[in-house]
């Protein structure tokens, strides 16, 4: 019964939104770079995910919505919001101070992440936050493994140019190392 499916889908969406809304927004924040756009991304992704539940029963979990967030971000959201991410170059940034000031490092990482083009940023997030392998990232984004490696390499290099040497615990056996990085230390020497 389509009506029953829709009702169940509605209930599932409300439950997912309440239980995982903050987590999804945190994930979207990595991509969008600010809370406002992250919340919009989450809402758009939830609508996109559940509007299709009109004619069949589907199972949607947090991972499904995360993928929808990523797809929205890559396919168009980022492009529509491009200017807002560049606005700070022309005008004062919006004053959206949180209840407590972020650490300088976190702000630096945020700024560096926001400086990356969308695909590079997506690759960095998928690799170092979602802990996906190179083939998994390629599958998720619909691009070749080599492209993922290139985006990752460019993205990490760009972040290092802004932040200094970057340390990760990503290992080489999860689908191949990031190009030019063969150890846990991407650049520089072992940390003290």
Partner 1 sequence: MRIDLERALEEVAARGRAQARPVPTDGLLRRVHRRRATRTVTSSVAGVGAVGLLAVGGIGLLSPAPVAPPATQAPVAPSPEPSASEEPVASTEVLPGWEPGAAPCGVRFELEPVDSPGLELLGGVTVGALAEEDGLYRVGVGEELLHPAVTAYPETPGEPGGALASLHTYLVDEAGTIALWDPPTEELGSEATNGSGAFNIAGLRDAVDCRTGQPLLGTYRAFSVASPGTGLPDQDEPGIEIVELEPVTFGADAGPADPHRTVSALPRCGDDASSALEAVGDPDFRAELDVGLLVDPVSVAGVHLPVTLRRTDTLDGVPLTGYAPQSVRAILVDDEGRVRTTMEPAYRSAEPLHTAPGDAVQTSLYQWFTCLGGPEAAGLAPQPGEVMDLYVYDQVRATAVYGTRVTATVLGGPYPVTLTDW
User: Which parts of 3-32 interact with partner 1 (CB under 8 A)?
Assistant: 6, 10, 13-14, 17-18, 21-30
Residues within window 103-142 making contact with partner 1, judged by CB under 8 A = 103, 105-106, 108-110, 113, 124-125, 128-129, 131
Nearer to partner 1, 91 or 142 (CB): 91
Q: How far is the CB of 141 from partner 1 (least distance, A)?
A: 18
Cβ nearer to partner 1, comparing 86 with 144: 86
Of 34-42, 56-64, 134-142, 143-151, the segment contacting partner 1 by CB under 8 A is 34-42
Paired residues of 55 in beta bridges:
none
Residue from 5, 8, 12, 43 binding partner 1 (CB under 8 A): 43
Cα gap 43→19, rounded to integer Å: 14
Nearer to partner 1, 60 or 143 (CB): 60
In the complex, what is the shortest distance from the CB of residue 183 to partner 1, in angstroms, rounded to a whole number? 13
Report helix angle 145-163 to 118-128, nearest 10. 90
> How many CB atoms are located within 10 Å of the residue 148 CB?
29
CB 82, min distance to partner 1, A:
5
Cβ neighbours of residue 106 closer than 8 Å, sequence gap 6 or more: none
Nearer to partner 1, 23 or 180 (CB): 23
Is residue 186 within 8 Å of 153, Cβ to Cβ?
no
The structure tokens 């993928």 sit at: 67
Sign of CA dihedral 114, 75, 148, 178: positive
93 binds partner 1 (CB under 8 A): yes
74 versus 113: smaller Cβ distance to partner 1: 113
Residue 181 to residue 165: CA distance in whole angstroms: 12
Within 136-175, which residues bind partner 1 (CB under 8 A)? 156, 159, 163-170
CA distances from 148 to 39, 153, 160, 163 (A): 27, 8, 18, 22
Q: Per CB under 8 A, which of residues 45..74 are in contact with partner 1?
A: 46-47, 50-51, 54
Return the ∠ at Cα 134 (arms to 75 and 33), rounded to 5°. Answer: 45
């Amino acid at each position: 019964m389509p009506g029953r499916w829709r009702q169940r889908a509605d209930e599932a969406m409300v439950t997912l939104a309440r239980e995982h809304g903050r987590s999804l927004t945190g994930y979207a924040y990595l991509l969008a770079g600010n809370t406002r756009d992250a919340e919009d991304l989450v809402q758009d992704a939830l609508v996109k995910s559940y509007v299709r539940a009109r004619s069949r029963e589907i199972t949607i979990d947090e991972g499904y919505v995360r993928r929808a967030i990523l797809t929205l971000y890559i396919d168009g959201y980022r492009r529509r919001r491009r200017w807002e991410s560049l606005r700070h170059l022309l005008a004062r940034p919006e004053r959206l101070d949180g209840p407590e000031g972020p650490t300088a490092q976190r702000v630096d990482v945020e700024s560096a992440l926001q400086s990356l083009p969308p695909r590079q940023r997506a690759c960095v997030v998928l690799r170092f936050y979602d802990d996906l392998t190179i083939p998994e990232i390629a599958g998720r984004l619909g691009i070749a493994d080599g492209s993922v490696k290139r985006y990752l390499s460019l993205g990490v290099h760009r972040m290092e140019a802004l932040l200094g040497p970057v340390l990760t615990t990503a290992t080489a056996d999860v689908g191949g190392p990031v190009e030019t990085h063969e150890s846990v230390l991407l650049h520089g020497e072992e940390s003290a």
